[in-house]
Amino acid sequence: MTRTRLTSEEARALTLGPDSVSWQHASDIRGFLGAGYALLLQTAHPTVSSGVRDHSEFRAEPWQRLYRTLDYVNLTVYGGEDAVEVTRRLREMHKRIKGVNPDGSRYHALEPETYAWVQATLVRAVIDVNRWFVGSMTERDHERLYQEWLGLARLLGIGAGDLPPSWAEFDEYFDEMVDSKLARTTSAVDVLDSLARPARPPVLPRWTEPLWRALSFPASYVLRLATTGLLPPVLRERLGLRWGPMRERQLRALAALSRACTPLLPGFLRVTGPNYLRARRRYIAADEFAPATYHHHSGSPG
């Protein structure tokens, strides 16, 4: 579909504030349980996989790539009017992402289907994580959040009609994409490997590697359980991921325990976005899609 250029007033009207559903539900600390899920949905798309293969340092720098994704999501939801500049810069960055697929065909990151799919995976992950692990959203909240993310999609330059117009129609679109487009790509395999053997964070010295492996195993198992369990069964099978009654029971027990914690969780863990941006301000200012205000107020990155 043709992309319509927004006026400054129209763009500002699409940004989000504290009264939005997204503000209240897009940065719950338990959202990390959906990080692998969203990333697998994205990298199982052949064009996304090729772009990651050719233009990303994911394999060498998984933690840095995770932070950049979190920076972007939090800036678009919690950055207010800065979201206009963030999304503009991100689209400009994607203009450079192009190349050749393994089958010899050419790809570009701004192919409408591909570009929209990445946004679709993010909103799907927010809602699915809430359904399973938080339990604080109603069906009306799902629709409102989806409409807010359609607004963010317009800021990104995603064309009208590239995503379904309502959350009620999203499932059919999602199932069609999973059935007809997603595959066991090289980048999806890299994501699975990183979940099974999480890299040591760069802030930890090399001598801590054995300790890191031992301490990270429980968290890695929980993340892989959530990631695999959230995937559609057909994609789970296509990716070669084993699943059975025992793991299904483990996932449901984990989800029930997580939902039971919801009334007890302090507010700063239910809405982590604003604090995250404050903590990351210096690093965000060094990134190419950081808004000008971050460059102006943050000084030189260390």
What count of other Cβ atoms lies within 10 Å of the Cβ of residue 61? 14
In this model, does residue 1 exceed pLDDT 70?
no
Whether the CB-CB separation of 129 and 27 falls below 8 Å is answered with: no
Pair of tokens at residue 121? 């995976």
Does residue 215 register a pLDDT over 50?
yes
Please compute the mean of the pLDDT values over residues 117-138 and round it to a whole number.
96
What is the SS3 assignment for 73? helix
Say whether pLDDT at 8 is over 50. yes
pTM here is 0.91
pLDDT above 70: residue 298: no
pLDDT of residue 3: 53
Confidence of residue 120 (pLDDT cuts 50, 70, 90): very high
Could you tell me how many helices (H) and strands (E) the chain has, helices first?
16, 2
Query: How, if at all, do strands 106-108 and 98-100 pair?
Result: antiparallel
**At 300, is the pLDDT very low, low, confident or very high (cuts 50, 70, 90)?**
very low
At 236-251, the pLDDT tens digits run 999 999 999 999 999 9
| C-beta separation of 99 from 50 below 8 A | yes
- Residue 302 has a pLDDT of 33
Q: What is the predicted pLDDT for the residue at 299?
A: 44
Q: Look at 139 and 3; give whichever has higher pLDDT.
A: 139
pLDDT > 90: percent of the chain: 72
Is pLDDT above 80 for 119? Answer: yes
Give residue-wise pLDDT tens across range 128-153: 999 999 998 999 999 999 999 999 99
Within 10 angstroms of residue 57's Cβ, the number of other Cβ atoms is 11
pLDDT in the model for residue 110: 93
Burial 123-145 (b: 16+ CB within 10 A, else e): bbbbbbbbebbbeebeeebbebb
Mean per-residue pLDDT, 60-73: 81
Share of the chain above pLDDT 70, in %: 95
Give me 232's structure tokens: 């559609």
Tens digits of residue pLDDT in 9-47: 989 999 999 999 999 999 999 999 999 999 999 999 999
Q: What is the mean pLDDT of the chain?
A: 90
Per-residue pLDDT for 171 more than 50? Answer: yes
